């Protein structure tokens, strides 16, 4: 039998095709649109999703069921000795805590990681886990490493429209209406817990500048040792604005030339449900093991 299989979910931004190439299993996150359930990257594409969003479709996110996870783990353990499961952060969803409870039935063969990661940072964790598995590390050792380094991460997100945050109850209808009227661009930040307000700007250009300067400050102070040793990397994610993301990537290269930019990906649909189109995320996080090319 093979030793360790790494399992994650599509909140990581890893597509089904990419997961096969990397050698990990990607659980497609379920969500409903106008009361019909879809699975990300299975029966719902990015293009169709944003078309429906533009029509003001009613969108809600969900999570894998207990039955689904237990059946998946049972099948995988017929081929592998152990499973490392890297779901999205417990700070934003109950998926992780529920998975920990379900895993108790599997006698430590399923190690559920809670390293407070989401999207691009979660993707990096998956890639580090895969490298550690190749090095012969056990599922428990991989989990311990990922959780020991969970604080080496910082993410900022600028949203284009407040109505999606209003739908999720993160801002009041009054604040959302005023923000949209004034065309405000709020910046949210997270270290793995709930997204907190970092700043309010009047344009995407101002928002990008603020985020880049803040990340630059963190790299030169809080993460100085990791940054100077080349262990901190940067990535971007966006909802349906690839040109803006590419432009931002070049602006980062001008301001922070010594950091490697490893991803510039579309945000997963399960995250885009809460941000809406036109959102841009930028994050920095640790990478100790993956030899990855700059994008």
pLDDT for res 164: 62
In DSSP terms, 85 is beta-bridged to: 7, 112
Residues of the chain with CATH 3.40.50.10170: 2-148
pLDDT at residue 273 in the model: 87
pLDDT of 85 higher than 80 = yes
Beta-carbon contacts of 170 under 8 Å, excluding residues fewer than 6 positions away, are 195, 274
Q: Measured between alpha carbons, how far is 8 from 84 in angstroms, rounded to an integer?
A: 8
List of residues 6+ apart from 116 with CB closer than 8 A: 89, 90, 91, 150, 153, 191, 192, 193
The structure tokens listed for 221 are 């102070």
pLDDT tens per residue across span 155-211: 999 988 766 665 655 455 554 455 555 578 888 899 998 888 888 898 999 999 999
Average pLDDT of the residues in 72-96: 95
3-state SS, residue 193: coil
Q: Which position has the higher pLDDT, 180 or 96?
A: 96
* The domain made up of 153-286 is a member of CATH 3.40.50.300: no
Burial class (CB in 10 A: 0-12, 13-18, 19+), 115: buried
**pTM of the entire predicted model:** 0.94
Alpha-carbon separation of residue 290 from 31, 115, 129, 131, 160 (angstroms): 32, 17, 9, 7, 33
Centre a 10 Å sphere on the Cβ of residue 56 and count the other Cβ atoms it contains: 8
CA separation for the pair 44, 65 (Å, rounded): 19
Residues of the chain with CATH 3.30.1180.10: 153-286
Mean residue pLDDT of the chain comes to 92
Contact 37, 21 (CB under 8 A): no
Calculate mean pLDDT across residues 276-287. Answer: 96
- Of 222, 249, 213, the C-alpha closest to 153 is 222
Round to whole Å and give the CA distance between 239 and 111: 31
pLDDT at 20 > cutoff 90: yes
Contacts of 89 (CB under 8 A, 6+ apart): 96, 114, 115, 116, 117, 118, 122, 192, 193
In this predicted structure, the answer to whether residue 44 has a pLDDT above a threshold of 80 is yes
- The CATH number that domain 2-148 falls under is 3.40.50.10170
Kindly provide the residue ranges of all beta strands, DSSP E only, lying in 125-279, ordered along the sequence. 153-158, 185-190, 196-201, 232-238, 260-266
Instruction: Please report the pLDDT score of residue 93 as a whole number.
Output: 87
Q: Half-sphere exposure (CA, 13 Å, Cβ side) for 15?
A: 12
Three-class SS of residue 285? strand
């Amino acid at each position: 039998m093979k030793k360790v299989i790494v399992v994650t979910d599509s909140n990581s931004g890893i597509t089904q095709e990419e997961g096969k190439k990397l050698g990990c299993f990607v659980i497609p996150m379920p969500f409903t649109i106008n009361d019909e359930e879809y699975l990300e990257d299975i029966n719902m594409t990015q293009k169709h999703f944003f078309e429906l969003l533009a029509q003001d479709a009613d969108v809600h996110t969900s999570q894998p069921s207990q039955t689904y996870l237990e059946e998946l783990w049972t099948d995988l353990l017929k081929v592998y000795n152990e499973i490392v499961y890297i779901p999205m952060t417990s700070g934003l969803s109950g998926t992780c805590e529920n998975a920990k409870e379900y895993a108790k039935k599997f006698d430590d063969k399923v190690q559920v990681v809670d390293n407070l990661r989401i999207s691009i940072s979660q993707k990096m964790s998956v890639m580090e886990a895969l490298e550690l598995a190749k090095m012969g590390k056990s599922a428990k050792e991989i989990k311990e490493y990922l959780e020991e380094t969970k604080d080496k991460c910082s993410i900022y997100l600028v949203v284009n429209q407040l109505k999606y945050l209003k739908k999720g109850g993160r801002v009041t209808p009054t604040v959302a209406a005023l923000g949209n009227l004034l065309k405000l661009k709020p910046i949210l930040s997270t270290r793995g817990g709930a997204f907190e307000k970092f700043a309010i700007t009047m344009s995407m250009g101002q928002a990008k500048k603020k985020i880049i300067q803040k990340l630059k400050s963190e790299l030169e102070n809080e993460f100085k040792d990791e940054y100077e040793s080349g262990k901190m990397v940067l990535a971007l994610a966006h909802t349906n604005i690839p040109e803006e993301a590419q432009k931002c990537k070049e602006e980062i290269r001008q301001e922070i030339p010594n950091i490697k930019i490893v991803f510039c990906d579309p945000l997963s649909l399960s995250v885009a449900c809460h941000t809406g189109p036109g959102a841009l995320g930028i994050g920095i996080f640790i990478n100790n093991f993956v030899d990855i090319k700059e994008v």
